[in-house]
Structures are given as structure tokens and as C-alpha cells.
Chain A
Amino acid sequence: MTAQALQAPAARRGVPLIDGIDKVTGRARYTADLDHAGALVGRIFRSPVSHGDIVRLDVSKARALDGVIAVITGEDCPHSYGVLPIAMNEYPLARSRVRYRGEPVAAVAAVDAATAQRALELIEFHVRELPAYYTSEDARAPGAALLHDDKPGNLEREVHHTFGDVEAGFAAADLVREESFTCAEVNHAQIEPHAALAEFDALTGRLTMQSVSQVGYYLHLMLARCLDMDAARIRVVKPFIGGGFGARVEVLNFEIITALLARASAGKVMMTLTREENFLTHRARPHTDTRIKLGLRRDGRITACACEVVQRGGAYAGYGIVTILYAGALLHGLYAIPAVKYDGYRVYTNLPPCGAMRGHGGVNTRHAFERLLDRMARELDLDPFAVRRANLLQAPMRTLNELMVNSCGLPECLEKVERASRWRERIGNLPRGKGLGMACSHYVSGAAKPIHFTGEPHAVVNLKLDFDGGVTALTGAADIGQGSSTMVAIAVAETLGVSLERVRVIAGDSAVTPKDNGAYSSRITFMVGNAAIDAARNLKAVLAAAAARKLDARNEDVECGGEMFRVGSGAQSSLAFAEVVKAVLAEEGTVTVKGTFTCPPEAQGGKHRGGAVGATMGFSYAAQVVEASVDEATGRTTVDKVWVALDCGRAINPLAVSGQIEGSVWMGMGQALSEETRYVDGLPVHASLLEYRVPTCAESPPIEVHIVESRDPLGPFGAKEASEGALAGFAPALANAIANAVGLELDELPLTPDRVMAALMERRRQRRLSAARKVA
């Protein structure tokens, strides 16, 4: 790849992942594949009750069993942990109280799995049960027992934000409607189950941790905190990771437990969780009740929005505060709305804790918003595209809640999917049972204010150039399958003007790579990409200076491309990359340079409480059309085709961008069609991939992707995020398509056959009733 490649987007297909060959050959080592010769097997004893005070926990029999090396309980770790510094209310192993079925209580390390399992069966555990709550409503009821003594009403956080004059907005509307929507809790269901390998060297007091974390840096911090260790004695290494989707952004209890077991047994412990335990570990998108009210003028302009969101958060804080803030903040930034009121409630319940999941916080609110907007458009006899076009925002601008919008390709996204789906010819002309629906969505390109605010740059990339002529990029950014290491390699190669093969990327090893805030909020391309470009520019400056000395030219006259340094166009005035490297190394030895990226304060959101959440340097924008068929005999919905356009600023690797868009649309489809966690008295009854219905290949539609490039002024080469923005639009587009197909307004996700059938039967009943009334 040369510098010209990025300048001709139409001709660019993109490049395969730089670690793709390892994946297709089975060579790639994921955590469970690591060499665990001599490692003990770790297992976790989990609470069988939903809520209660621990009366007795006796592990003596387990400890006495032959082959058991260590047994630990909450006594072994008095330090709480959590992802938000202001809300660390969880212990790796429960202390004095359990708050959900499946909460870790004790753990064993044994010579083999069978022994570890027998040891768990010997643990004696008695609990004085407390009332348990499995719905937000029950947990918030007056007089409900508190899960956490400092949280009255079992509310983790209330948010009340009003921007603009909402009452005046509704008064100015020609149509005001208010509806309620319910979205079931869903899970990431990444295909690689959680695993960790910890090795504690008792002689040196050093811990090496290899785990599935999306943010090795958080894991590092929490290990130091929970094990009371000097962080300098800890090394966190990222093996290949089999998907994340937010599941592994928070430090997870089993990771700390594995490290505690390794220290207690003065050795190496491998912990692999079952699929059922993955569902218990959870941290995904909460069950959400949304009540939303919109005001619309006859011309389609939105005059005001009021939205109330209640999230069933589970037993501990996790990311809860951020999720409930995102749900409100992301009402902004997609359309120009003059007044927005938001009331959010994050509720503690006796269920596995929720957390961050792809499209964090924005997905369920967007569903409600796009559904109601579509219904109101129909009532006003407005086309769904027209009503959205009537509310486009003009970049650059600042939203009411002080979010920066520097580029917006939504108009082009709308045009692309309208044309590709032949919307105008086909809408209203499809046979009964078949429908078209559309929706828009957006997402942040990284949180401009990190959760652990330290004042440091948001991203650092180091480059090393050595005698072999190879350029090694060192980054803490976690490639979890999204292709971030490939993006770093392209950014460096493009900037230096060298071939992609010359660049090697080493990612995620705290002993070697600079600290990175990790793979979350779609931050890597924007932040780490910019840092990689900065590092490559710094390296290029060193090389160009050496080339200038050799060519007897001024630094600024030296150009680099195609692995050649040139002054003007003459053959006599050029040097091959290898010659320049030789010259530089002769002068100063191995070259190491650093590049950084920092989000300026003006990008970090408003001054109101919680104003930093939602703040970003660049929003991606997406529009999609879904074609669906509804079988009125069975209630089954089939997605026939999806057309999606996403404005990612600029596609640094179009192949990876289209892969991310397809994956995010499809994940939205899973939530819309079939995915749902279910609990009976706190017991998960969905905890396998048979019960938790991830769409298979057989029921997944063709997805036609259109990439829109708005060239963000601050993004690396103009790029923004591409992995999350399209997700939130799928569910409302599908529900809108079902409304178009069979005239049903379905307000509850997922749109399973039983829900569709119930709505069809209810409509038939109503029709019979009204016919009977007419006869009477």
C-alpha cells in the first residue's frame, strides 16, 4: 500500500487483517489455548440464592481434599473493585452478603478439573435470605429492602436533564404523541468463553496475567488494588481475543479471582468459564422501559422531545451510571432538536449486573425514538425519509448538551439507502405480509473524557526502527477482532510512505506497550489512529533529516513515498528506505519515537453533572432500510434484506469497515428478532446458546453496505468510528417494516413469533368485538 491508496477511496477494497493468517490456520492462541502445563485448575463456587446475608461459609472440607491447593473466600480480598472510580461497590468474592444467584462466593485451585469440582461440592454455605427483586418496578416499590444501604429506593443513579424550552416546544407542535417501549435484556454472547491464566512467582513477588480483557490497563489497576500489589510487579498480556462487544471492558470477577488463586497457591492457575457462567458474569445491555414523547410540526420538524428511561441494572454498579447517562446524551447529536428533557433511572435488582454492550446506552432509546417518529410521520402523512430530512443538523455545530459535531454524512447515507432499496417505487406497493422500514442512528468515536481521568494523553503509540529496517508499532490498544492492529499498521505505513509489510504491530503487553485506554466506545481508530499518525510523522522527520543530509538538501524538500526518499524528480536525488535507515542508525543507533493524541477540553462535554458522557470528537452516522416478511399464520418474521449506509468519515480499511457495519447491523438484528435473557426467581433459564437465540447463518439476511466518507476534520485521515453506529437503527427499522407489512405496532423487543402472534390475535379479537358491536 502506498500513500496514493488512501487518496482514491473508490478503488480501495482494503487489506486483510495482519493477523488473519493466524486465525484461519488455527495458530492463533486464545487464552484457553495458552501453554498451561503445570497449571492448576480454578473453579468458582457461586451463590445459589438471589439475596441474603451470609451466615456461614465453611471451606475446611474442600481445603482438606487431596489435590486441592488453595481455597479462597471473600475474607481473602477486602478491597472492592469496579470500573467507575465513584462506584466500586463489588467484591471479587462476596463479603457478608450475596445479591444475585450465581455471584462468586468462594473459589478453589486444584490439580485437575474433577478434583476442583469435588471441592466445590464440599463447601458449606448458609444464607439468611432477604427479599429479592427481579424487576425495576418491584425494586423501586416503597418499603423494598435495599440492595445497597447507601442507595435509597434501590436507585443507583437518577438523571434529570433539560435543554431548551420543552413546554414551548410541545405547545408549538401540530402533533404530540407519547408511547412506551420495552426492550428485553440481551447478552454479548461472544463466541470465546471467558478465560484467564495467572502466574504468581512467589520468589520474586511478580504476577503475570493473561486474560480476555478489552482494557488491559483497567485489569492492571484492579489487580494492583485487589491484591494490594505494587502495579510495577504486575504484567498484563493480551492473547488473541475471541470477541468482546463490551463484555470485557469492565474488569470481571473471575479475572481477579484467578489472580488471587494464583497467589494463594504460589503458582499458575487456569480458569475457563462455562457458557452458563459467561451468562452469569453478564455485564450486557439492561432490560429497559422507555416512555417517550415527541412534538412534530406538519412539515416534519421536531419541536421537542421528552424521554423517561428505566434500566434494570442488576446487583452492582458496574457501568450503570454511564449507561443511564448515555441513554439521555445520545438523544442529541443525530437530529437538530430545539428542546430535550431526559429523566433516567438506573435500578438495582437481584440479577447479574449489566454493563456496556455495543452501542452502549443509546440503542434502546434510539429504538423508542425512531419508532415513535415513524408512527407520527404516518399520522401526518409524511414519508419516513422526509421526516428525517426535515431534522438534519448542520455540521460543524454544538448540540444543546454541548457535544461537538464536526462532520455529518447523514444526508448522503439517507440518499444511498433510499436509492439502493428502491424505496420510492416499492413502499406501499409490496404484497401483504411484506414491508419496508427505515431508521437512522449514530455513535461516538471514543469517549472524549476517559473514565479514569488522569490528564494523560488519550492515546500513545511508540515506534521502533532498527537495523533490520523493520518498523515496530507498540500499542496498548486491544485488537479483539475488529482489526485495530491492522488499522495501526496502515496508519503508520501510509504516513511513512512504506509498504504495509514493513510494519509489525505488537499490542497489549504492559511490559512492552504504552498504556492505552482500551477497546471501548469505538475509540481506537480515532484516538490510537491519530497517535499512530503522530508517531509516524515523528519518525518520518528523523528519516527525512538524515536523507536531507545525504542528499545535501533542506529537510522540508525531502519527500517520501513508495519506500523512496526524493528531492525533486531526478534519479540522482533519491535514496532507498534501507539506505536512509542505515544512515540514521549510524548516527544514533536504534530509533524510538512516540506519538500521542489528546482530546482538547472543548471536546469533553458540558459542565452539567454527567455532561462528559456522550462527549466525543466525532459521531458516525447511519441510515438503514430493512425489508421483512411476516407470516400471519405463525407470527414468524423473516428479514429478507438490509441496505445500510454509514458515514465513517473515511474508511482507512474499507474491508474491515464493511465487516464492522455488517456485524453491527446483524447484532442489532439478534436483539430485534430473538435475543432475550430470562430469569425465573433469579435463575437464568437462557444460559446456553440453544436457549439464548443468536441468529444462525440460515436466518441471517444479505446486508448491502454503502460507505459514506464525510472526511472528519479531526479524525485520522478524516476517519471516525464504524463498529457501533449502525446497530441501533436495525430494531426500529425492522419494527417499522413490520408495521408496513401487516399494520401492527409492536412496542416490545425482541419481535419473537409469540409476541407477533399475540398482537395478531389481539387485533383479530378487537375486530370481532367491533363487528359484533356493529351487529348489536
Chain B
Amino acid sequence: MPPDGPTAKKRLLCLNVNGCARKDAVAENALLLNYLREVARLTGVKAGCDGGECGACTVLVDGAAVPSCLTLAIRCEGKRVETIEGLAAHGRLHRLQRAFHERLGTQCGFCTPGMIMAAEALLRRRAHPSDEEIRIALSGNLCRCTGYVKIIESVHAAAEAAP
């Protein structure tokens, strides 16, 4: 993780996070992961490894699932960033959140935000994915609890539910 202490050179970053416009001074070498967690205080975005290994930090940038630990914050200038915190709205769980909750697609829950965001990116491009498509789309997201069985069930159940 590059140091992004007080001495790092900063730049003004304008972007949209979970539907809200933001302007923040961020270090040029700051990772999107650290920006979201430390500046935007969106701690649903998790760090599970030393970079690009586990997928726990997956967020959507302009609708595509990306590991925020391998993305510079300043590369998101003018883009739409979505995290797990942006999914539930008006007191209702998002269909993937409901399915993961009701079908135990989550156990310890640490991989869950990244897993759900990766699944959301999939459902936006494939409304009714096959087992195989789900397995491939989520293969960058490691889970150590579930054996993935109930995760795949959850994604199917969400696909069947109205968005």
C-alpha cells in the first residue's frame, strides 16, 4: 500500500459516490479503496489482501465491477462509483441483499459487500445468468465460509426477484 500521508501531493477529485456528488482533495497516489474507507467513510468496502487477490474491495465504477485496491482514486474523476452502502434505498433491501440474507449467502459477512457488488454488475448485463456465468463472474471474489453454494443460490434468487 503506497503511503498517502500528509506529505503526499494532493489533487481535487470530483466524482459521484452512491448518487451524491463529492469534491475531495485526495493524494495522487491514494487508492480508491482508501479514499472510500477513510475519506467517504464507506467501510462496507473491505480490504482482505495486499492487492488484487481476494475481491473483498469490489465496487462499481460506471457500472463495472473493479477491485478498488488496484484503482487510483484520481482515475475516477467524473465517474459514478457505487458501493454496498448505495444499494439499500428507502428502507428496503436491494434484491441481492435480501437474497444473500434470506438464503445465507453470507456467513461471516466479510466478503459479502464485494461479492454482492460483483453479482450486481453481472445482473445488470445478464438478467438471468446460468450457474456457469455466475461462477465465472464471481471467481475473483474469494469466500472462505460458504463453499459458494448458497452464494450461487442467492444470485439466482435475486435474478428471479423484481429489481
Q: Which residues of A contact B (CB under 8 A)?
A: 16-17, 19-30, 32-33, 112-115, 117, 188-193, 240-243, 245, 272, 274-276, 480-483, 655-656, 658-659, 662-663, 665-667, 669, 688-690, 694, 696-698, 700, 702-703
Which residues of B, 99-128, contact A by the 8 Å Cβ criterion?
A: 100-113, 116
Residues of B within 8 A of A702 (CB): 149
Verify B107–A481 contact, CB threshold 8 A.
yes
Residues of B within 8 A of A480 (CB): 108
Verify A483–B107 contact, CB threshold 8 A.
yes
Say what secondary structure dominates the interface of chain B: loop
Given contacts A16-B104, A242-B110, A662-B147, contact A27 B138 (CB under 8 A): no
Given contacts A21-B93, A242-B110, A697-B139, contact A26 B43 (CB under 8 A): yes
In Å, the complex CA distance between A17 and B112 comes to: 14
Interface size on B, residues (CB 8 A): 62
Give 4 closest A-B pairs by Cβ, nearest first.
Answer: A26-B44, A481-B108, A666-B147, A23-B109
Residues of B within 8 A of A240 (CB): 108-109
Closest to B6 in A: A112
Closest to A21 in B: B101
Closest to B2 in A: A114
In Å, the complex CA distance between A25 and B87 comes to: 8
In Å, the complex CA distance between A30 and B113 comes to: 13
Verify B85–A25 contact, CB threshold 8 A.
yes
Given contacts A28-B109, A191-B108, A243-B145, contact A275 B139 (CB under 8 A): no
Residues of A within 8 A of B141 (CB): 697
Residues of B within 8 A of A191 (CB): 46, 48, 54, 56, 108, 110-111, 142-144
Which residues of B, 44-66, contact A by the 8 Å Cβ criterion?
A: 44-50, 52-54, 56
B159 contacts the other chain (CB 8 A) = no
Closest chain-B Cβ to A241's Cβ sits at a distance in Å of: 7
Most buried by B among A26, A33, A274, A481: A26
Verify A694–B150 contact, CB threshold 8 A.
no
B84 contacts the other chain (CB 8 A) = yes
In Å, the complex CA distance between A274 and B48 comes to: 8
Verify A32–B47 contact, CB threshold 8 A.
yes
Verify A655–B104 contact, CB threshold 8 A.
yes
Verify B97–A24 contact, CB threshold 8 A.
yes
Verify A20–B139 contact, CB threshold 8 A.
no
Residues of B within 8 A of A483 (CB): 107
Given contacts A113-B1, A191-B108, A243-B108, contact A275 B147 (CB under 8 A): no
Residues of B within 8 A of A193 (CB): 47-49
Q: Which of A17, A23, A245, A703 contacts B147 (CB 8 A)?
A: A703
* Per-position binary interface string of chain B over residues 24-58, scored 1 when its CB falls under 8 Å from any chain A CB and 0 otherwise: 00000000000001000011111111101110100
Verify A697–B108 contact, CB threshold 8 A.
no
Most buried by B among A23, A113, A482: A23
Q: Which of A113, A190, A245 contacts B3 (CB 8 A)?
A: A113
Residues of B within 8 A of A32 (CB): 43, 47
In Å, the complex CA distance between A676 and B85 comes to: 36
Verify A117–B88 contact, CB threshold 8 A.
no
Verify A112–B48 contact, CB threshold 8 A.
no
Residues of A within 8 A of B144 (CB): 188-191, 243, 245, 663, 667, 694
Residues of B within 8 A of A25 (CB): 44, 84-85, 87-88, 93, 97
Closest chain-B Cβ to A288's Cβ sits at a distance in Å of: 22
Residues of A within 8 A of B105 (CB): 24
B152 contacts the other chain (CB 8 A) = yes
In Å, the complex CA distance between A448 and B86 comes to: 47
Residues of B within 8 A of A29 (CB): 43
B15 contacts the other chain (CB 8 A) = no
Residues of B within 8 A of A189 (CB): 144
Given contacts A24-B93, A655-B104, contact A117 B109 (CB under 8 A): no
In Å, the complex CA distance between A198 and B134 comes to: 41
Closest chain-A Cβ to B30's Cβ sits at a distance in Å of: 12
Closest chain-A Cβ to B5's Cβ sits at a distance in Å of: 4
CB<8 Å pairs between A and B, sample of 8: A17-B104, A25-B97, A30-B46, A242-B108, A243-B110, A483-B107, A659-B146, A666-B148
Closest chain-B Cβ to A290's Cβ sits at a distance in Å of: 26
